């Protein structure tokens, strides 16, 4: 509901530079990644997931309405930071819970359904924002405040989720996440993390796609619809992509997704007409539908159940911390060299990730 409004709110209302917006998004996501690492490990240690998931969603829901009273860059940074800490607490235990609730043969479908439903909510949210904005004369602050309502409903629904029984987990002693030697993980998972490092280095915050579309002529009132189109595409392709990965193998689908990502970023680099942005955002949804759930499912395929929460924490930590770097890089390249070079960098990193995955015969 509020995510597509934040980049323009930061830039237009608060007057923040693209470099500072990159700092906000990068620091927020990297802090979330740090907490994903510890929450994943802690969920393995206590053999419970649900309580951590609820705590994370609750923290984020309390924080989001605070954007309605933000008036400075520091306040924006602090609020976004706390919001992402909530995401950090919930994500790894939630992914472990989903993975443990499905067999390997249906894990792609399970994550596909999760990503589709998550994204379907992200379709309704921007649509609500689009309908509400004219009532407030384009002022996003009341929309930030109203976002508290669906968040509370989500937490009430989440309370009905059944945790996976503790006896399904190994009783093997877990090391602290910062002391992880990675010997606990398979060589395939370690190689997978290297691939994700290079891909994430070029996968900056999606806020830059919104800013790019706005720079090409997209009006502020249409930004929620623009992001809704992305989420519709993402949601529609998530379940079919999950089913295909169960049938054909996740590696093939992810390779195609990385290649598609590189082409999409090239399109954003040389885009001259805002009409082209609408087409690109549809393909960007296809990319996410093919990759996001299947990447999470692949973690479950490559790691022993006793280390599953920790593995998801490590995966999200590496991708998130690298997102911090990539968002900083994107902001600096855009401000100092130009938008074309900034998006070309992301495209090249997607191509490198594709090649690294393609030359490995099997994961």
Vertex 255: Cα angle to 199 and 122 (nearest 5): 70
Query: Do 303 and 187 touch, CB atoms closer than 8 A?
Result: no
- 359-to-71, 193, 212, 254, 363 alpha-carbon distances in Å: 49, 15, 33, 13, 11
- Is 178 inside any structural domain? no
> What 3-state DSSP class applies to 338?
coil
Domain count, the chain: 1
Cα dihedral value 324, 326, 331, 335, nearest 10: 150
pLDDT digits (tens, 9 = 90+) for 38-76: 888 888 777 778 888 999 999 999 998 899 899 988 898
- 84-to-4, 236, 325 alpha-carbon distances in Å: 15, 26, 16
Q: Give the whole-angstrom CA distance, residue 208 versus residue 186.
A: 35
pLDDT confidence of residue 92: 85
Q: Averaged over 92-96, what is the pLDDT?
A: 86
- Is 327 inside any structural domain? yes
Query: Do 226 and 7 touch, CB atoms closer than 8 A?
Result: no
Only one residue has tokens 């996440």, namely: 177
**Structure tokens that stand for 221 in this block:** 């009132």
CATH of the domain at 76: 1.20.1250.20
Sign of the Cα torsion 341, 347, 353, 359 reads negative
Q: Among residues 326, 350, 298, which one has the least CA distance to residue 192?
A: 298
- Is 169 inside any structural domain? no
Q: Which has the minimum average pLDDT: 59-73, 135-149, 191-205, 311-325?
A: 311-325
- Is 175 inside any structural domain? no
- Is 174 inside any structural domain? no
Note down the domain range covering 345: 3-163+185-359
Q: Give the whole-angstrom CA distance, residue 267 versus residue 334.
A: 16
Q: Among residues 97, 101, 106, which one has the least CA distance to residue 40?
A: 97
Is the pLDDT higher at 180 or at 55?
Answer: 55
- Is 170 inside any structural domain? no
> What are φ and ψ of residue 15, in 5° steps?
70, 30
Cα dihedral value 351, 357, 361, 363, nearest 10: -170
Q: Is the pLDDT of residue 175 over 70?
A: no
- Is 304 inside any structural domain? yes
Mean pLDDT score of the chain: 85
Q: Is the pLDDT of residue 82 over 60?
A: yes
Vertex 178: Cα angle to 85 and 53 (nearest 5): 35
Percent of the chain at pLDDT exceeding 90:
21
Q: Which has the minimum average pLDDT: 31-35, 62-66, 292-296, 348-352?
A: 31-35
- Is 272 inside any structural domain? yes
């Amino acid at each position: 509901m509020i995510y597509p409004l934040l980049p323009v709110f930061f830039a237009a209302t608060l007057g923040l530079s693209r470099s500072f917006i990159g700092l906000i998004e990068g620091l927020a996501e990297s802090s979330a990644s740090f907490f994903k690492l510890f929450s994943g490990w802690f969920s393995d240690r206590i053999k419970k997931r649900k309580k951590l998931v609820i705590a994370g969603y609750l923290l984020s829901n309390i924080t989001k309405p605070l954007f309605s009273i933000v008036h400075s860059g520091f306040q924006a940074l602090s609020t976004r930071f706390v919001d992402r800490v909530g995401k950090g607490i919930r994500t790894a235990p939630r992914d472990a819970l989903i993975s443990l609730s499905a067999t390997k043969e249906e894990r792609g479908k399970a994550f596909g359904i999760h990503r589709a439903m998550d994204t379907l909510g992200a379709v309704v949210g921007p649509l609500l924002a689009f309908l509400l904005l004219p009532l407030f004369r384009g002022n996003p602050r009341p929309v930030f405040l109203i976002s508290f309502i669906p968040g509370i409903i989500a937490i009430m629904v989440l309370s009905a989720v059944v945790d996976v029984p503790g006896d399904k987990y190994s009783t093997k002693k877990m090391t602290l996440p910062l002391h992880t030697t990675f010997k606990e993980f398979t060589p395939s998972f370690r190689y997978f993390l290297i691939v994700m490092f290079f891909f994430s280095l070029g996968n900056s915050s999606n806020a830059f796609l919104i800013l790019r579309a706005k720079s090409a002529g997209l009006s502020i009132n249409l930004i929620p619809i623009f992001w809704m189109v992305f989420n519709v595409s993402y949601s529609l392709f998530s379940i079919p992509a999950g089913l295909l990965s169960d049938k054909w193998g996740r590696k093939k689908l992810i390779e195609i997704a990385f290649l598609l990502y590189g082409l999409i970023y090239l399109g954003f680099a040389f885009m001259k007409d805002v009409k082209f942005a609408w087409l690109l955002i549809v393909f960007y949804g296809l990319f996410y539908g093919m990759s996001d759930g299947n990447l999470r499912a692949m973690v479950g395929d490559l790691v022993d159940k006793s280390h599953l929460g920790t593995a998801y924490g490590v995966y999200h930590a590496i991708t998130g911390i690298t997102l911090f770097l990539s968002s900083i890089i994107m902001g600096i390249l855009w401000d100092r060299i130009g938008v074309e070079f900034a998006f070309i960098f992301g495209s090249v990193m997607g191509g490198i990730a594709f090649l690294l995955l393609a030359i490995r015969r099997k994961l």
